[in-house]
Structure 1
Amino acid sequence: MESPQTNVSSNQPISDKEYPEDGFFEKYANAILWTLAIFMVVAVLGLIAYQYGSLMVTTSLVARAQERYQSGDYKGAIADLDQAAEWTPDYYIPYYVRATFRLEERQDVDLVLKDLDRMLEIDSSMKLGYLSRGMARKWKAMQVSGEERAEWLAQATEDLEFYQEFSSVTNYNAWNAVAYARGISEKKVEQGLEEANKSWEMLEREEKKFPSKEAYEIAQSNVLDTRGLLRFLNDKHDKALEDFDLAIELLERNQEKILKKLEEDGAMEIEVERQTEDLQHMLAVYYHHRGQVHEDLGHEEHAEEDFKRADELGYSPKDGIF
């Protein structure tokens, strides 16, 4: 059986109806190009609208997460931030806020580090990310030992040095953070003491920036604790005790005033509870550090009293309180 005949036989011309007339593409070129251009514009606008819409959703979720966290709903806040990160995986804010909440609540340091790594991968110019990651890496170091601890502490110090470098020259906290990291790692302690002294000098110049005398004196206690630790590690035991004594005095004298002021200003109960816990943990660290000096000097009774008080207030390096 013969196959069906086609119109492409050499002796059978192509019908005009089966092929476009000459000049078809030239005739409709402008229309085709305009159609393609309109399609591209619509596609781009659609992408922009989608991205803008996603960003709006993320902003709303982050705002709700902050409200939930402030009201004490930690799990609800994290759930909102999980959704926000899904909506805009290349936007750093959800990662930073989620890491901050977990860091404040001392919840899962590995997830904190994962979020901060991702945040800095997205935007390496966010200097606060280095401060937070430096703190998280110090916490991680307290959960391990030996060479692994030394490595985490080295990374923490590197982050804090980077934060210090890119912070204002009058930022006392940046210098204090680096100095404290050197104290915890017991590396470059002479340089750490110089940085602690510089932090103290900066803080004295910033007194008027604090909202109250109580807030300023609590900040002083924090720097005094750092300097005391570095003085101790530099074998300046008497000076270290002076710093720790004053740090404890300043914090104990002002913590109730700070908490009372929060209540008078109408702060939520959860906020007062968190501030109470933070101040107690600061005091726990101060007592522990002073106990170390007394122990090194052979003051066994004083050392035991300080270590006991530190434990009562919640001193626990593996839980981020150190």
Structure 2
Amino acid sequence: MYQYLNSRVSVILIMALLIHFVSSGQMVSERFRAQIDPTKYPVIKFEWSLPGNIQVIMNEGLTNIDVEKYDQAVINFTQVLKEKPDFWPALYYRGVAYRIAGDHEKAKADFIACVLKENALVAGHYLLAETYYQLHALSEAEATYRKVIKMESSHALALYGLANVNLARYDFSDAERYYEKSTAVDPAFAQGYIMQGVLKIRSNGKKNTAALQLLDRGLAIDSLISEGLFWRGMIYLDRRDYVRCLRDWNNLVRAHPNDPYYLIFRSFLHIELKDFDRAFNDIKKAVLMHKLDVNAYKASETALDKQIELQNAAAYVARFSYGLNEHALISFKKGFCYFVAGNSAQSNYFLKLAENTEPSATIFYMRAVNYDHSSKHDSAHIYYDKALALDNEIIDAHKKRAIYRYQLGDWKGAYADLDQMLRLEPSMHVTYRIRGYIRAHQKDYVEAINDLTTFLKVDSVDADAWKTRGYCRGEINDVAGKLADYRQSLRLNPSDEPILNELAEQYAATSDTTNLISFHNEFKDTYSNSPAFKYLLIDYFINAKSWKRASLEVEKNRLLESEEGKDDTNRKRVFSILARYNGLIELGQQHYDQAVKNFTLALTIYEFNHEARFLRGKTYLAMGDRKQAIEDFQFLTGVYYPEAAAMLKEARKRPKK
């Protein structure tokens, strides 16, 4: 969420760039697009043709929707449907309750069932279309919105929904056209004007008159539409009209006091206006409001790592910064705000002023984090030391210093900091992850496995932790454990090709056919184009000297290759590989003539199959054909093929026939 701004450009320029992204068709975030409020839904009229006791339950369900007890409403409508399965209003309102609660799949099912029973219900079709849109089923959403419009041509919300579908497809022309249609059929439809205005925004503020007029028109109808307030503020900001921008964003924050995004944007404006007290308060609130899981920390300087560090720093600052004297606090707030805005030089300047006024753990810690995030790690280490000398309870400072000490080879110091982390927060299981990595690096594999096992009991979706534990298990000859951990790591991170290749190699060399087949079946769809995986079973059966099964797998792969386009380079390479495998199968059975024929076929299909040439050379050598073997190995030596030079030397030692 918190992307640091480049220190060489102003906050205002970044805001202007955001407008540029919109004008060029790159909507930067789903949250700043057209928003759907699921709590707004059409109220339908229906006949209460129910027994008295069922009518009471139906009425309770409607009341529970009104008082936001959606789970209880679902129970009520389910009871009604149990007694009256064909009572479509209960289906409709249960769908409404599911949709507001965020269970869109169940809402979809209810709306479909509802319109099947009452096809003329426009509201049912409309909410079904909205639900499809929220499920990102855009084709279904479009078809259903069009059905609603066919049933009721002046349905502004359906026209607006169709515009949203086109916007989601980046078809800005059609999106704008349908937003215009929505206000044409309903001149009081505020949201339609707002989205027309957003789509007319241009990067040059002077060209935004039309956009501003449309936003003004929409906000005159409904003054609290968040998209309107946000984007009108952006236009004012681009024009350097800070007073009006601040007015809109103040209204935006008042309307959405718990939205950290709006607080962050307003804080950047406060920084530009040099109102550091308000900027400081906005940033502090926003960061603490948007809670991140501290155990997701990877110690890899990722964007998420930096966000977690910012969150931890903000939490500490919120508790202790007001203990500073007045002059130090003024400089500290400026330094903190510039740090969040990404201006590390200005941040460092003001934090240094604060330090000179009143040295404290808070200032030292913030200077350390600022140095850390600007990659000045030696200085960061020094200031973490200073901060902890004054306050040994800063858990994040211990964490960062442990990593620095580990990188410097100070194992004892690193372990001491990790012990402090466990003392301060025993449930902070990321400590075990970091300590497990350090122990793995020290080749203390058993203890590393113990730490990573503790971590994985709490966080079982960390692919890297599974991989590291798998490596440690392999180092103590626990091959089965290694394969199991690597396999779990691959499930969580399917793009880890080195792990895929190692697993394929290990399984091909194993004698455990059951696990091999299980591994192949589990991942065959995901890695159908990976050579290491594609030919895994062939390699396995060749290693096991199961020649018939190996041949069957070769034939199976050949049949899977389509005849169409087989002359292109990639197709040639595939058929060449399969011919090489056939040669390898014949070579394993000492059918040398057949092996040579297959290796030659592989080279005829694709002349750069150097492995086939190498195997043919070895086959010639086994047959006693010194001359042909030398020719193959000489060629391969020229292309620096591994082992070719050694085999050429071996061939030349053989006596001539």
Q: TM-score, length-normalised on structure 1?
A: 0.49
More helix by share: 1
Structure number with higher relative contact order (C-alpha < 8 Å, ≥ 6 residues apart):
1
**Structure having the higher Rg:** 2
